[in-house]
Amino acid sequence: MADISVRMGELATSADPGTVLVSIGLGSCIGLALVDTGARVAGLAHIMLPGPGEHASRPPGTFADTGVAALLAEVLALGARRMRLSATIVGGAQMFGSAGRMQVGARNEEAVRAALRAARLPVVAAETGGGSGRTIRVYLDDVRVTARAAGGSENVLYGGLALPV
């Protein structure tokens, strides 16, 4: 299977069952997966900051608000149906914890959830917060979303065999 790496600020979509969308090493960043298990279309954004993302020179995936909007537009363009889309979010850790430093991870999660609410996209699974980095993978073959914390094992958060019949 071909991995498509989605780096900080980037987003990618696929309808090819041979691909895996992956964001390696999410710290305070959020990996946002939008999937339509019916159409077997998925997208992944690697969001860095809460926003607002009015800076046009930045990749659209950089901020929560522009990232959600851009990812939604791309999965719809690939044939996803809005009614069937669901969101999974991973990341938003607080890796450097001293008081007074920006709580970027928690603010990222809050902003992504708010943008998803505004777009009426349900969050069906999440693995967020804590102090460890994580990797998110979206497998297009059975449209499942997984998370793996540093030094841990890979958990299926949504889709795949866990899909409701």
Residue 160 buriedness (CB in 10 A; 0-12 / 13-18 / 19+): middle
- For other proteins, the closer of residues 24 and 114 by Cβ is 24
Backbone angles phi, psi at 159, to 5 degrees: 80, -160
C-beta closer to other proteins: residue 13 or 135: 135
| Residues linked to residue 156 through DSSP beta bridges, in sequence order | 146
Nearer to other proteins, 35 or 104 (CB): 104
Q: How far is the CB of 103 from other proteins (least distance, A)?
A: 10
What is d(CA 7, CA 101) in angstroms, rounded to the nearest whole number? Answer: 24
Applying CB under 8 A, which residues contact other proteins? Answer: 7-10, 24-29, 48-49, 55, 57-59, 62, 93, 95-98, 101-102, 104-105, 108, 131-135, 150-151
* Distance from C-alpha of 148 to C-alpha of 134, rounded to nearest angstrom: 5
| CB 92, min distance to other proteins, A | 10
